[in-house]
Structure 1
Amino acid sequence: MAVTEPKKNHYSDTFDEGFSTVPHYLAYPRMRPFVGCRYAGAKARILLVGESHYLPKNQTLHLDAQRWYQGQEGDFRPGQGLGWIHTREILNKSTGEWRKQGHAIYRNLDRALYEAGFQSGDSALEHIAFMNGFQRPARERLSLEVAPEDIEVGRETLAAVIDILRPDGVIFVSRKAARHLSGELKVPHGSVPHPASAWWNRASRRGTGKTSLFSKCPGFVPVRRAHEL
Structure 2
Amino acid sequence: MYYYTEDFDDQLDKIEIYQRYPLLKPFVGSDYGRNGPRILLIAESHYLPASSTAHNDSESWYLGLESDLNPEKEQPWMRTRGILSKPYRGWKKRGHAIYRHLESALVKAGLPISDSVFQQVAFMNAFQRPAKEGDSIKHTKQDVEVAVETINQVIDTLRPDHIVFVSTKAKRAVGKHLSQSSSGFHHPACPWWNRKQDGMSSKQRFIDHISSHWNATGAA
Q: Shorter chain as normaliser: what TM range?
A: over 0.9
Q: Does structure 2 conserve the Cα–Cα contact (< 8 Å) formed by 1:168 and 1:187? A: no
Match of 1:177 among 170, 174, 195: 170
2:121 to 128, 138, 141: 128
Cα contact 1:206–1:212 (8 A) shared by 2:
no
Deviations 1:29-84 (A, max 9, x none): 00000001110313211100000000001110000000000001111134230000
Between the two proteins, the alignment pairs up a number of residues equal to 215
Max Rg structure = 1
| Alignment partners' CA distance in 1, 2:119 and 2:54 | 32
Root mean square deviation of aligned Cα: 1.4
Say whether 1:63 aligns with 2:56. Answer: yes
* Residue 143 (str. 1) matches residue 136 (str. 2): yes
**Which residue pairs with 1:197 in the alignment?**
190
- CA distance change for structure 1 residues 33 and 206 in 2, over 3 Å: closer, same or farther? farther
Identity %: 41
Q: 2:160 aligns with which of 153, 167, 178?
A: 167
- Tell whether the 8 Å contact from 1:53 to 1:137 is kept in structure 2 after alignment: yes
Structure-1 residue corresponding to 2:39: 46
Between the aligned partners of 2:152 and 2:123, the Cα distance in structure 1 is 14
Q: Please name the residue that 1:82 is paired with.
A: 75
Task: Say whether the 8 Å CA contact 2:166–2:188 is kept in structure 1.
Answer: yes
1:211 positional shift: 1.5
Cα-to-partner distance string for 1:105-152 (whole Å, 9 max, x where unaligned):
001111100111001111111111000000000000000011111001
Given residue 221 of structure 1, which amino acid in structure 2 is its aligned partner?
N
Task: Flag structure 2 segments of 5+ consecutive residues without an equivalent.
Answer: none
Among candidates 208, 213, 220, match of residue 219 of structure 1: 213
Q: Counterparts of 2:30 and 2:12 in 1: how far apart (Å)?
A: 16
Letter of the 2:185 counterpart: V
TM-score, structure 1 normalization: 0.90
Q: Distance in 1 between matches of 2:199 and 2:160?
A: 24
Letter in 2 for 1:111: S
Q: Distance in 1 between matches of 2:130 and 2:119?
A: 24
Say whether the 8 Å CA contact 1:62–1:136 is kept in structure 2. Answer: yes
Q: Separation in 2 of the partners of 1:206 and 1:83?
A: 39
